Structure 1
Amino acid sequence: MTERIDGHTILIGLMAYPIRHSMSPTMHNNAFAKLGLNYVYLAFDVTNDKLPDAINAIRTLDMRGSNVSMPNKQKVIPLLDKLDPAAEMIGAVNTIVNDNGVLTGYTTDGTGFMQALKDENLNIIGEKMTLAGAGGAGTAIAVQAALDGVKEISIFNAKDSIWENAKRNVEMINEKTNCKATLHDIDDKEDFRKEIADSIIYCDSTGVGMKPLEDLTLVEDPTWFRPDMIVFDTVYAPRTTKLMTVAKQAGVKHVFNGLGMMLEQGAQAFKLWTGEDMPVEYIHDLLFS
């Protein structure tokens, strides 16, 4: 990397908290090197209270842009100049592009999730999904799944500050797509179990399973799962989450962490920043080895 960095190197960031576990710097910096692009990608610990100054720094330092992750995907929206139509519909941003001081927010999480399933030759179109979480990633996944043709989505969330966002998601999906969406209280365990049992895929888009919650899972009982279903955890550090362990105990054949989703959403962000296609197969082998 030191051979690539000079006075013309273009900076791209990642703003989230916690963030030191992220594989995104490895992914993007190796992609830049592979293509001979003079960019560098760095991770920054940024909480909600530091976010306004961090976004101003994109303009001040003439950064090309930044990724945004928890807990900033929704809080960042008022700080931007424009939103891509998908980000506006979803109400969350995970990628910022700086065009001469004009910051545009995009979301690539939902398409990254759907592409990660396609990469594994799995098709959930016309099927039912149970989804835990209605934050930035959960919203993007739900909306994109509905747009792509998933038949039904049962969204579970706690009755906390995200609950109103979850209600908005359900209303939007029901109004603007052919998918039937319903909202459920995640504290109703029997309802949670029944909806999972009726689904082809269960996806956890919450932060449960990553530090400091790496010893926890929303589903503790392996009997909630069937061997023929898909269990997808958007967390990828640790590589095997507690949820994945429970699913494997149930004999679930298709169990995934969030690495594939991270790779595919990252490839789309890479294209927005550089105009080049990420060498996905090369980065896939690097990350998954």
Structure 2
Amino acid sequence: MYYRLALIGYPINHSLSPWIHEHFLEKANLNGDYSTFEISPDDSFSLKVKQLMNDNVQGFNVTVPYKEKIISFLDEIDESAEKIGAVNTVVNRNGRWIGYNTDGIGYMRSLESKFPNFHQDKAKRILIIGAGGATRGIYHALVQSGFLNIDITNRTTEKAAEIAKLKSDATTTNIFSLDQAEQMIKNYDVIIQTTSVGMKPNPDNIVFKMNELKETSIVSDIIYQPLETRLLKEAGEKGVGLHYGHTMLLYQAQYAFEIWTGLKVPMGSMDRQLKHKLEGR
């Protein structure tokens, strides 16, 4: 079988997805290719998506700004994707187009790869910074994994409150302003930064200071350009555990590949290879 896979979004010329999935195809000893299918805002989205679906592809990824727009073109969406309200992976199963969201599970896999004992204490206190699409996926995955204390801080607390509606009966979630969260940072075991603050071309920006971290805490930033954000640098100076954003990129792609092919490809040295690739950009 020849796997024809693709990515839709805008802009996507510099996407790392082709590099990642071509490595996965090689590791899995499968024949196939992964191409970018850019859809500009001036194009007819409907026409372009139907063109792709009629082009014998087995599946495709969806990135911004189309993770919500794609839903109405699908025959079915996975329960998690429905709750999150966004799809980033689509598979063709016997002519039926089914949508998934791999962000949350990919994030959890990447965190567990660095911190294998992460799951042992479900009562650890977790703070998520931000309230965007990635936050919804990560929050939902943490809830599904049974974590009990997941707080959210965001510039707009109303958006954070919307995400908190995804909680289970067992979950406790408090919503804080950024100023409040900065004052309480030492109370958290895990801090997850999901905003674009600190991303190139503004790498010196930081959502708030990492002044009083607990020595045993983990600080995670899903940004991968730059590889080490200012937030991670400040946290690293405190000697805490660090989790880098490029690993989420890898593991959410791994789960997408698994959906398309049924094969879970081992990462091997891809973490290090992608790190070197990003450092060279």
TM range (shorter): 0.7 to 0.9
State the alpha-carbon separation in 1 of the partners of residues 108 and 203 from structure 2. Answer: 25
Shift of the 232–267 alpha-carbon distance from structure 1 to 2, 3 Å rule, reads same
Structure 1 stretch displaced more, 265-274 or 35-44: 35-44
Give the secondary-structure state (helix, strand or coil) at the position aligned to 2:219.
strand
Q: What is the match of residue 156 of structure 2?
A: 159
Q: What is the match of residue 222 of structure 1?
A: 210
Give the secondary-structure state (helix, strand or coil) at the position aligned to 1:43.
strand
Q: Is the 8 A contact 2:111 2:243 kept in 1?
A: no
Shift of the 56–271 alpha-carbon distance from structure 1 to 2, 3 Å rule, reads same
TM-score after normalising by structure 2? 0.84
Q: What is the match of residue 3 of structure 1?
A: none
Q: What is the match of residue 65 of structure 1?
A: 59
Deviation string, structure 1 residues 125-155 (Cα, Å, up to 9, x no partner): 2211111222221111101101212121111
Q: What is the match of residue 131 of structure 2?
A: 134
TM-score after normalising by structure 1? 0.82
What is the CA distance between 1:159 and its match in structure 2?
2.8
* Amino acid paired to 2:241: H
Shift of the 196–20 alpha-carbon distance from structure 1 to 2, 3 Å rule, reads farther
Selected match of 2:170 from 166, 171, 178: 178
- For these two proteins, the number of residue pairs brought into alignment is 272
Matched, 1:199 2:188: yes
Q: How does 1:8-157 map to 2 (within 5 A)?
A: 9-46=2-39, 51-120=45-114, 121-123=116-118, 125-157=122-154
**Unpaired runs of 5+ in structure 1?**
1-7
* Amino acid paired to 1:198: N
Selected match of 1:265 from 232, 252, 255: 252
Shift of the 203–19 alpha-carbon distance from structure 1 to 2, 3 Å rule, reads farther
Q: What is the match of residue 267 of structure 2?
A: 280
Shift of the 20–156 alpha-carbon distance from structure 1 to 2, 3 Å rule, reads farther
Shift of the 49–82 alpha-carbon distance from structure 1 to 2, 3 Å rule, reads farther
State the alpha-carbon separation in 2 of the partners of residues 107 and 22 from structure 1. Answer: 18
Q: Is the 8 A contact 1:231 1:252 kept in 2?
A: no
> CA RMSD, aligned part only?
2.6
Q: Is the 8 A contact 2:153 2:178 kept in 1?
A: no
State the alpha-carbon separation in 2 of the partners of residues 113 and 41 from structure 1. Answer: 22
Q: Is the 8 A contact 1:58 1:64 kept in 2?
A: no
Matched, 1:242 2:227: no
State the alpha-carbon separation in 2 of the partners of residues 18 and 215 from structure 1. Answer: 24
What is the CA distance between 1:227 and its match in structure 2?
3.4
What is the CA distance between 1:55 and its match in structure 2?
2.8
What is the CA distance between 1:59 and its match in structure 2?
1.0
**Amino-acid identity (%):** 31
Give the secondary-structure state (helix, strand or coil) at the position aligned to 2:268.
helix
Q: What is the match of residue 169 of structure 1?
A: 163
Q: Is the 8 A contact 1:13 1:67 kept in 2?
A: yes
**Unpaired runs of 5+ in structure 2?**
277-281
What is the CA distance between 1:280 and its match in structure 2?
2.1
